[in-house]
Amino acid sequence: MARSTDKSSRRRPSSTVAFRLGRAADRIPPFDGATAWLNSPLLLPDDLRGHVVLVNFWTFTCVNWLRTAPYIRAWAEKYEEHGLITIGVHTPEFDVEHDRENVEQMVEKLRVDYPVAIDNDFAVWDAFANRAWPAVYIADSEGALRFQHWGEGRYEESERAIQDVLGLDEGLVSVEGVGVEAPAAWDQVESPETYVGYARAERFASPGGVVQGERHHYAEPENLRLNQWSLTGEWTIRSQPAISHQEGGRLAFRFRARDLNLVLGPGAQSARFRVRLDGHAPGAAYGDDIDEQGEGVATEPRLYQLIRQPGRIEDRTFEIEFLEPGAQVYAFTFG
């Protein structure tokens, strides 16, 4: 979903969303609003002059960006020798994404080898009049923005735009995303991105509703309808995360999609958890971050792929039980 001009309501795309140049800037603005740089010293306008520049807005928990990441990496590698400079602008959504150490870890883990401008104050985002994660902007060697795309998809069109500005006409990169970077099964997704923090929580089904910012004992509802979720045990629901305070705290979601992902952090050094699908171990439906028995460990704040279903997709009830206190849960995404 496109981000509005209200900074309190920045949202990610929940599906493939694309827009051509409209209200966005018509020339590449300077990056002087960045609070730090990774993989590169500060890049000034003089450093970019004479180069074609690809700017990619991202944030490391965003599943929509993760599914575009293999293409950004491939384009950066292939076209560098032709003069392309690729810049990733990391503009955070969640509080854990403001932490430079967390960003540095994810830059290494996700193989982001090109320069990264850390945009904690949204200064670069606003200079581009950007509206969504992910976003791609391509500027020519004179600094004019020649192409813009918000969201996933349109990869051939984006790469052709790179080649056009570089004056090339050749074959396109071959990319196959694996794990969480694999394309979503959009024709099977009937569950929307769902936030757990009270600022944007929807469809919460535990009796009594959300208690904002206070430790509270939540009870399991009698049943969950599609796209409802619930908590069980002692939790504090803050603006962004919900925090589990005891061993055995549970979070459930009734969903329909091939993939279920959860943005979470351990709170402390690690948090062991157990996943169930319709009350049973997930078996062949296990995601990258658990085993067939549903066992997993959160060791860092990021997006965890917990379910990838093979075969027929139908309504299922997902449940995660935290075996240690302190886990922080932010959002569900699907694919």
E strands, 28-175, where? 36-38, 52-58, 84-90, 116-118, 135-139, 145-150
Percent of the chain with pLDDT over 70: 93
Asked if residue 290 and residue 242 are part of one domain, the reply reads: yes
Asked if residue 114 and residue 149 are part of one domain, the reply reads: yes
Closest CA to 162 of 85, 66, 88: 85
Asked if residue 173 and residue 32 are part of one domain, the reply reads: yes
Residue 77, Cα to own-chain centre: how many angstroms?
22
Whether the Cβ atoms of residue 259 and residue 334 lie closer than 8 Å to each other = yes
Q: Which two tokens stand for residue 143?
A: 């600094």
| pLDDT class of 206 with cuts at 50, 70, 90 | very high
Angle at 321 between CA 317 and CA 324, to 5 degrees: 170
Question: What are the beta bridge partners of residue 253?
Answer: 229, 318
Q: Domain boundary residue among 125, 148, 181? A: 181
What pLDDT is attached to residue 269?
84
E strands, 183-266, where? 194-195, 215-218, 229-237, 242-244, 249-255, 259-265
What pLDDT is attached to residue 267?
84
Q: Which two tokens stand for residue 3?
A: 């981000």
Half-sphere exposure of 217 (CA within 13 A, CB side): 0
At 217-237, the pLDDT tens digits run 999 999 999 999 999 999 999
In a domain, 1, yes or no: no
- The DSSP output letter for 186 is G
Q: How many residues does the chain have?
A: 335
Q: What is the mean pLDDT of the chain?
A: 92
Closest CA to 159 of 91, 84, 90, 89: 84
At 276-309, the pLDDT tens digits run 999 999 999 999 999 999 999 999 999 999 999 9
Dihedral angle of Cα 316, 317, 323, 325, to the nearest 10 degrees: 130
Number of domains in the chain: 2
Q: Please tell me the distance from the alpha carbon of residue 184 to that of residue 171, in angstroms, as a whole number.
A: 25
pLDDT > 80? residue 246: yes
pLDDT > 70? residue 85: yes
Asked if residue 33 and residue 117 are part of one domain, the reply reads: yes
DSSP 314-332: --EEEEEEESSTT-EEEEE
In angstroms, what is the C-alpha Rg of the chain?
Answer: 20
Q: Domain boundary residue among 131, 160, 181? A: 181
Q: Please tell me the distance from the alpha carbon of residue 108 to that of residue 49, in angstroms, as a whole number.
A: 28
- The DSSP output letter for 184 is P
Asked if residue 223 and residue 132 are part of one domain, the reply reads: no
User: What CATH number did the domain enclosing 279 receive?
Assistant: 2.60.120.260
Q: Please tell me the distance from the alpha carbon of residue 16 to that of residue 159, in angstroms, as a whole number.
A: 17
Q: Please tell me the distance from the alpha carbon of residue 28 to that of residue 143, in angstroms, as a whole number.
A: 5
Asked if residue 54 and residue 160 are part of one domain, the reply reads: yes
Asked if residue 199 and residue 156 are part of one domain, the reply reads: no
What pLDDT is attached to residue 231?
98
Asked if residue 142 and residue 250 are part of one domain, the reply reads: no
- What domain range includes position 284? 186-334
What pLDDT is attached to residue 20?
35
Q: Which residue has the tokens 């990021």?
A: 302
Asked if residue 148 and residue 271 are part of one domain, the reply reads: no
Closest CA to 237 of 248, 245, 225: 245
Closest CA to 256 of 326, 186, 320, 209: 186
Q: Which two tokens stand for residue 260?
A: 């279920």
Residue 3: how many CB atoms within 10 A of its CB? 22
What pLDDT is attached to residue 24?
55
What pLDDT is attached to residue 2?
32
At 143-201, the pLDDT tens digits run 999 999 999 999 999 999 999 999 999 999 999 999 999 999 999 999 999 999 999 99
| pLDDT class of 11 with cuts at 50, 70, 90 | very low
Asked if residue 33 and residue 127 are part of one domain, the reply reads: yes
H or E segment and range at residue 333: strand 328-334
Q: Domain boundary residue among 118, 151, 181? A: 181
In a domain, 78, yes or no: yes
What does the pLDDT average to over 72-93?
A: 98
Whether the Cβ atoms of residue 284 and residue 292 lie closer than 8 Å to each other = yes
User: What CATH number did the domain enclosing 126 receive?
Assistant: 3.40.30.10
Asked if residue 139 and residue 250 are part of one domain, the reply reads: no
Percent of the chain with pLDDT over 90: 91
- The DSSP output letter for 30 is P
E strands, 100-172, where? 116-118, 135-139, 145-150
